[in-house]
Amino acid sequence: MLWELCDGSRTFVDICSVLDEVFKEDIAPVLHRTTAAIHLLQQNNLLLMLEEPLNNRWFVGPGITPGHQTLDDLPEGLEIDTRPLENECP
């Protein structure tokens, strides 16, 4: 759920509010656990923290490999939608 909430449309406080509403005391204190989880995503190059919205400055859709990473080719027959997201940089 955290991964899905970190889509660039929410602030950290927004994300914590959603997690707290869903899990209540199961993940309390929400600020500390969310901070730790986001830090792990950052350490593994799975999340980029920005001070301002991307505003169509970077391709963030499926099928885009960051310049500093290399990935193996996908297996044949694997159907992955790599169409640009709405309002994504061309």
> What letter does residue 62 receive in the DSSP assignment?
T
Cβ atoms 42, 2 nearer than 8 A: no
Helix (H, G, I), strand (E, B) or coil at 69: coil
Alpha-carbon distance of 13 to 21, in angstroms, equals 12
The answer to pTM > 0.75 is: no
User: Is 34 contained in some domain?
Assistant: yes
The pLDDT tens digits of the residues spanning 42-73 come to 999 888 887 777 666 666 566 667 777 787 77
**What's the domain range around 22?**
2-43
User: Is 88 contained in some domain?
Assistant: no
User: Is 28 contained in some domain?
Assistant: yes
User: Is 76 contained in some domain?
Assistant: no
User: Is 9 contained in some domain?
Assistant: yes
How many independent structural domains does the chain possess?
1
CA atoms within 13 A on the CB side of 83: 5
Q: Which residues contact 86 (CB under 8 A, 6 or more apart)?
A: none
